Chain A
Amino acid sequence: EPEVTQTPSHQVTQMGQEVILRCVPISNHLYFYWYRQILGQKVEFLVSFYNNEISEKSEIFDDQFSVERPDGSNFTLKIRSTKLEDSAMYFCASSKGLGQETQYFGPGTRLLVL
């Protein structure tokens, strides 16, 4: 069964550093998403991406965040200058679109900002 994959599984970084989180969505899916979950809190939507552009973003997704699909398979989330409060689990998800709205989640990247 096709799955969303994410790398790395864990990332430790210093405050102020840039990080790039990588995702490979399910191959025939058209919509891609990033969510985050701070430890002990609920899953929160960050951004959705379709046809090589952002289609929706939340208030959390400010100027320090960006997304990109650099090639035909990868989907990345960049955090430009990490803050302590960016420490969270970041989940990538994808959906087929075309009326099939179920979103399938990757295993996540646990980001720790020191």
Chain B
Amino acid sequence: RKEVEQDPGPFNVPEGATVAFNCTYSNSASQSFFWYRQDCRKEPKLLMSVYSSGNEDGRFTAQLNRASQYISLLIRDSKLSDSATYLCVVNMDTGRRALTFGSGTRLQVQP
């Protein structure tokens, strides 16, 4: 089983749409969870950390379900500038700092 698994997409949505991405992770001992975004040929940039209680930052909402080992990202009112690849990132083990990346889900927001 892949360590961090995401639907590769692409998701093609119109401006203003709501879109949801899902991610599963294999290690139940995983401690920290993040969503990063990556524009073509650029570095990953932190979008938001994901907490057990769920968290929201403007149009973005992240949820964590530890029992199902599942993370989600919801983007409301999509903008053209949201077009990017969204990376699900997990710190898999206590005491380790290495991040394990999913392959990413590509989002294309269309006018």
A residues contacting B by CB (< 8 A) are 31, 33, 35, 41-45, 48, 55-56, 58, 89, 91, 95, 101-108, 110
A contact face: mostly helix, strand, loop, or mixed: strand
Compute how far the CA of A31 lies from the CA of B97 in the bound complex, rounded to whole angstroms.
9
User: Which of B41-49, B60-68, B76-84 makes up part of the contact surface?
Assistant: B41-49
Chain B residues numbered 79-111 whose CB sits less than 8 Å from any CB in chain A: 87, 91, 96-104
Complex contact B98–A58 (CB within 8 A): yes
Partner of A56, one of B34, B42, B49, B97: B97
Selected contact of A91 from candidates B44, B91, B100, B102, CB within 8 Å: B44
What is the CB-to-nearest-CB distance from B85 to chain A, in angstroms, rounded to a whole number?
Answer: 10
Q: How many B residues touch the partner, as a band?
A: 20 to 34
Given contacts A43-B87, A89-B41, contact A104 B101 (CB under 8 A): no
| Known contacts A89-B41, A91-B44, A101 near B98 by CB under 8 Å | no
> Which residues from chain B contact A91 at a C-beta distance below 8 Å?
43-44
Contacts of B32 in A (CB 8 A): 101
Chain B nearest CB from A17 CB (Å) reads 24
The residues of B with any CB-CB pair to A shorter than 8 Å are 32, 34, 41-46, 49, 87, 91, 96-104
How far in angstroms is the closest Cβ of chain A from B89? 8
Q: A101-B32, A106-B43, A107-B42 are in contact. Are A43 and B98 (CB under 8 A)?
A: no
The CA of A104 and the CA of B87, in the complex, are separated in Å by 14
Q: How far is the CB of B18 from chain A (nearest CB, A)?
A: 26
B57 shortest CB reach to chain A, Å? 14
Closest to A57 in B: B98
> In whole Å, how far is B96's beta carbon from the nearest beta carbon of chain A?
6
Inside 8 A of A103's CB, which chain B residues have their CB?
46, 97, 99
B46 touches A42 (CB 8 A): no
A101 to B45 alpha-carbon distance, docked (Å): 14
Do the beta carbons of B97 and A44 come within 8 Å of each other?
Answer: no
Minimal beta-carbon separation of A98 from chain B (angstroms) = 12
Q: List, in ascending order, chain A residues with CB within 8 A of B43's CB.
A: 91, 105-108
